[in-house]
Structure 1
Amino acid sequence: MARMIGAKAIFVALTALFVSSSAALTAPAAALSMRTGAVTSQPIGHYEFCQSNRSECAAGQRDPGAAKVTAFGWKTIREINAAVNRDIAPMTDKELFGTDEHWTYPDGAGDCEDFVLLKRRKLIEQGFAPADLLITVVRKPDGEGHAVLTLRTTQGDFILDNLENDVRHWTETPYRYLKRQASFHPGRWVSIENGDAVMVSSVGK
């Protein structure tokens, strides 16, 4: 009887190990893309940007679904990310405009939102769909707010960041994801429901 109980215990332990390992293997696949929720508040800086650039925030944007990016497309994405990071000097809105928030296309200098706007425009000029290029608000590990550009692809969501020249999958970044532009309307924003899931897959990397 003792042997049977011991064998059963080993079987249960191995089964539990297999289940937990399987969950760990499937978790990244489930988080390939951010899971968006309800419409939420639009950042004031983006609202004011839309007032000055109404055509960029108007309804009627077509959402063709996540892009299937070719090798040439990835080369273009990486080149634009690195070039904007190189050519634009990081400066705060307070330094440039004397205000806390002023979203605009940068002219030689800008803050994180300005980097995002310029990268988005350059990628649209290269043929990428606006619905796949979404301004995204995140929180850095130190609690500071930050903006990045999310690229939707059939391989998942990837991040263009002025603090990083590499284009990384969103789960390979250290951020907590809060909200982003809606793929169905460039003037609307939606919450990100699994924004903390990124922290799990980033541990130990």
Structure 2
Amino acid sequence: MPDLSRSQFCDLTRLAPDALKSLSRREQLPFSIDQKASGRGYTFFETFLTIVSQEFYEGHGVNVTRAAEIAAALPEALAPKWSRIVETARDKADGTGQKIEEIMCGRYSPAGLHQPRPIVGTDIEIDQELAASELPAIRSIRSSASRSLALLITRSHRLGIEIPEEFWSTPFSFRQRPNSIERSMENMKKLIENGEHLKDEGE
């Protein structure tokens, strides 16, 4: 499954090895590292998700954990638009100066007690989707998926790292990051099953 060594992944994401180790330990990567199940290394799509995450916390002021959560929730929404993302990213990487309608990605929070939802499309498409939603969006954030992929393409070329053919089409190859909300609910369920909520705090 892995396409890249740790060193190559760090070069492409511009992360120092210690920084990568810290992000992994704090679960601040947009994918899960499971060496027992899939061995060492990283896939190109995991690298792309990491760059997307970086764009959110470096370019939009989102905290690192939240940025990883946003990027981790995107794959299913990215898939139908992937060919357009690839096309626009290649155009940006070519640097022709031609105006490109970039494909954006991010998430929005519907009004009420609802989990945030991923969004992918051009700015116009996203605005139309939010306007047509039954639940109004109380906040949203988006970044350019086209730009993130263009960065990966140009860095790969500069470093002489070949991008495998299967990367350009779906399904994506990556290790899914556990949903933090679902994980919190599961942990709470286990505590209740173990009777932790009934124990005297003074014990």
Greater helix percent: which structure? Answer: 2
Greater strand percent: which structure? Answer: 1
* TM-score, normalization by structure 2: 0.26
* TM-score, normalization by structure 1: 0.26
Bigger relative contact order, structure 1 or 2 (CA pairs below 8 A, ≥6 apart): 1
